[in-house]
């Protein structure tokens, strides 16, 4: 069954807009877990615009029984703001999964995957270091990535398919071509022993179609849409709706 990991970055965005401790990232994560979410995702950035290293520490001690997934750019160094660097943070927290993403500091959000042919040499020692910590490694890739075999050669455990283009095409009424690319990418990844995750701009409207067409998706990471929907319906009801949609896709 596909697992749901809820990204709680947007809770930190709201908190940071006012300062102080509210709304609580930990309380939001616990609400998601209480509703049945299988994991919690965070993407701490070097500019500390939302999730902070202190949040990651707090979540690591408050999410027992579910998987913690830390996303980030493995090439981003430590800085004077208090960001320790992704590898150091992973070593400190030992999450279940680390999702490596090639996003620059100036990016508003992740909008592309790794060029595996170009980036393999730089990624190799970092993937090895993370795996030595006992942490599963997933690499963020585009839905038409070339040379996906390189991810397996790097000994990554999974890839996460960037689903932004699919979500955009679906909203415009024609997600078929993007779905086909995602399905082919998943099949190619699985053929070389990689697990497949997916994420970015998935929501209650497009999720079921995605899961029905793309084989063997192990995990979806959903944050922005889920938190927006939860403003109207509440976290508990929204998480349960996503789980219902995931379940429905299995028996289509």
**Dihedral of the alpha carbons of 81, 13, 106, 149, in degrees to the nearest 10:** 100
Please name the residue that has the structure tokens 């703001």: 81
Residue tagged 């779905």 (tokens): 179
Number of domains in the chain: 1
**pLDDT higher than 90, residue 251:** no
- CATH code for the domain of 186: 3.20.20.70
Determine the pLDDT at residue 31.
97
Per-residue pLDDT tens over the stretch 216-230: 999 999 999 999 999
Q: Catalytic annotation on 38? A: no
Domain coverage including residue 230: 3-250
CA distances to 147, 175, 202, 215 from 179, rounded to whole Å, are 19, 6, 13, 11
Catalytic annotation on 71?
yes
Kindly name the residue from 38, 50, 71, 219 that is annotated as catalytic: 71
Q: What is the pLDDT of residues 124-143, one digit of tens each?
A: 999 999 999 999 999 999 99
Rounded to an integer, what distance in angstroms lies between the CA atom of residue 28 and that of residue 10? 10
In order, the DSSP letters of 57-87 are HHHHTT-TTSEEEEEE-TTPPP-TTS---HH
Of 38, 50, 200, 213, which residue is the catalytic one?
Answer: 200
Give residue-wise pLDDT tens across range 7-54. 999 999 999 999 999 999 999 999 999 999 999 999 999 999 999 999
Task: For residue range 160-218, list pLDDT tens digits in order.
Answer: 999 999 999 999 998 899 999 999 999 999 999 999 999 999 999 999 999 999 999 99
Q: What pLDDT digit, counting tens, does each position of 48-107 carry?
A: 999 999 999 999 999 888 999 999 999 999 999 999 999 999 999 999 999 999 976 666
Q: Which of 43, 50, 213, 229 is catalytic?
A: 43
Angle in degrees, 0-180, between the axes of helices 116-132 and 86-93, rounded to the nearest 10: 30
Is 43 part of the annotated catalytic residue set?
yes
State both tokens at 226.
Answer: 């889920």
Distance from CA of residue 102 to its chain's centroid? 13
Q: What CA–CA distance (Å, rounded) separates 131 from 125?
A: 10
Is a pLDDT exceeding 80 seen at residue 112?
no
């Amino acid at each position: 069954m596909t697992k749901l990991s809820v990204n709680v970055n947007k809770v930190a965005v709201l908190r940071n807009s006012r300062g102080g401790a509210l709304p609580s990232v930990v309380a939001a994560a616990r609400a998601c877990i209480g509703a049945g979410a299988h994991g919690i995702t965070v993407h701490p950035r070097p500019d500390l615009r939302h999730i902070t290293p202190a949040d990651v520490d707090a979540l690591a001690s408050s999410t027992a029984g579910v998987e913690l997934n830390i996303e980030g750019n493995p090439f981003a160094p430590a800085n004077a703001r208090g960001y320790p660097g992704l590898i150091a943070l992973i070593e400190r927290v030992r999450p279940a999964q680390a999702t490596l993403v090639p996003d620059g500091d100036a990016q508003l959000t992740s909008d592309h995957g790794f060029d595996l042919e170009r980036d393999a040499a730089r990624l190799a020692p970092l993937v090895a270091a993370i795996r030595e910590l006992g942490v599963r490694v997933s690499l963020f890739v585009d839905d038409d990535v070339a040379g996906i075999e390189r991810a397996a050669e790097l000994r990554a455990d999974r890839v996460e398919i960037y689903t932004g283009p699919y979500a955009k095409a679906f909203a415009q009424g024609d997600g078929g071509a993007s779905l086909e690319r995602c399905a082919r990418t998943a099949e190619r990844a699985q053929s070389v022993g990689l697990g497949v995750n997916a994420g970015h701009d998935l929501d209650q409207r497009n999720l079921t179609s995605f899961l029905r067409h793309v084989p063997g998706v192990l995990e979806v990471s959903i944050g922005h849409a889920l938190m927006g929907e939860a403003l109207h319906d509440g976290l508990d009801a929204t998480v349960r709706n996503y789980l219902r949609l995931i379940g429905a896709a299995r028996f289509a």
